[in-house]
Structure 1
Amino acid sequence: MGLVKGNVPDDGLGRDPAVCPLQPKLLADLASDDPGPRRAAARALAAYPEAATALCNRLEIEPAPSVRAMILTTLIKIQNPAIAARLAALLRSDDVPLRTAVIEALQEMPDSAALHLRTLLNDPDSDVRIFAVNILGALRHADVPGWLAELIREEPHINVCAAAVDALAEIGDSEALADLDTLRARFASETFMSFAIDTATRRIRGQ
């Protein structure tokens, strides 16, 4: 006769603590001096969505690239709007590798990130606006073409507008054509902008 398994209490999330490591131990390992346990903890915490805040906090101070990568992989797996907001805030970081990794992670969570990135289109820092445009252009989110068309109606910074035009060349639709023509007139003396708008217009028209 086979053994009959009795009732085994879980950890509140439907997991058997006998086979799933306890979260407090993983959180302690996430703060280890050794990057190995930190990386392993970041991987295992994918089973604990409630650990997202701790993972975001660690990401902000994590020096090891491999641990950063694992934290971001886990955050992508458990993605939600709160995680996207924390990552979007890191677009202001002076740490270029971290910022690049965050950009790549946000591109993997379109539904969670889109609205936060739209808010950043109004950020006072033009570099942050450019980062937001570039990420939005890669999201393939249904509302993005309209947001970018709206942006170029009022955006004063030529480099932000250029980034939006490049994105519209990839994802824009016919509704953006009038705004592109208006932008051309606004920057009539800028040859590179006219070229970018011509390219975007041809692609949108399927030429």
Structure 2
Amino acid sequence: MPIIKQHTIQTVDVDERLQPRDFAGLTAELAADNSTARRWAARDLAEFPEAAGILVERLKREEDTSVREAILTTLARLGDPAAVAGLVECLRSEDASLRNEVIEAMKELPDEVAPIMSELLEDHDPDVRIFAVNILESLCHPQVEAWLISVIEKDAHVNVCATALDLLSEVGTLASRPALQQLKARFADEPYIGFTVDLAIKRIDEN
């Protein structure tokens, strides 16, 4: 006779969401053992502008991918300075998956992220500067090329410059040509820099 395994399925009473959902109740539910309850709480907190702080704190320790996605979606919807600051905090996390998820969320906030982009690109941590360049990859903002030029002109870290160079080789215009040439001279002992600069300049000249 086959053995039928019992599976525990997490559920949330549908009627529960039909009741008034105030900030205190949703905040409490955000810490529930049930991941489905946490996910709904994260979604419903989008109606409360003051929710950014509590959502960020939950995001830092949340292990369920679907709940993290809901939190990030809500933070993106809120899009206020507290939400953006919280996302920046998470860029410093040791959790690589969380960092990548945050980068993707920040790419969806060009107007909100733009005011702090210069600050991110000058952060003391080169990893954060690299993450900032990664955000620029899909950030639909007219300042993207200018920010990248500033990086390759000023940043002393070769990996940061290389990351910026990769993107600039795709989006650069004639405006970036002098900075590209200076970068090649500054890192003359780095074959990758020289090779990629040459390709970028060739593409610019051909266009």
Q: Which residue of 2 aligns with 1:7?
A: none
Q: Which residue of 2 aligns with 1:134?
A: 134
- Give the structure 2 partner of residue 23 of structure 1: 23
User: % of aligned pairs identical?
Assistant: 46
Q: TM-score if structure 1 supplies the norm length?
A: 0.84
Aligned length: 190
* The 10-residue stretch of structure 1 (19-28 or 187-196) with the greater mean CA deviation from structure 2: 19-28
On the 8 A contact 2:52/2:86 being kept in 1, the answer is no
Deviation of the 1:116 alpha carbon: 2.2
- The 8 Å contact of residues 59 and 71 in structure 1, kept in 2 or not, is answered as yes
C-alpha spacing 1:170/1:25, structure 2 compared with 1 (3 Å) = same
- Residue 11 of structure 2 is matched in structure 1 by none
Structure 1 residue 75 corresponds to structure 2 residue 90? no
Name stretches of at least 5 consecutive residues in structure 1 with no aligned partner: 1-17
Residue number in structure 1 paired with 2:120: 120
Task: Give the 4+ runs in structure 1 shifted more than 6 A.
Answer: none
For 2:20 and 2:202, how far apart are their aligned partners in 1?
55
Alignment partners' CA distance in 2, 1:205 and 1:109: 32
**For each residue in 1:98-148, what CA deviation from the matched residue of structure 2 results, as whole angstroms up to 9, or x when unmatched?**
111111111111111123232121122211111111112321211121122
Contact 1:118/1:132 (8 A) holds in 2: no
What secondary structure does 2:137 align onto? helix
Q: Tell me if 1:65 matches 2:65.
A: yes
Q: 1:172: how far off?
A: 2.3
Runs of 5+ in structure 2 lacking a partner?
1-17
- Alpha-carbon RMSD: 1.8
TM-score, length-scaled by structure 2: 0.84
CA distance in 2, matches of 1:19, 1:34: 18
Q: Helix, strand or coil: the match of 2:193?
A: helix
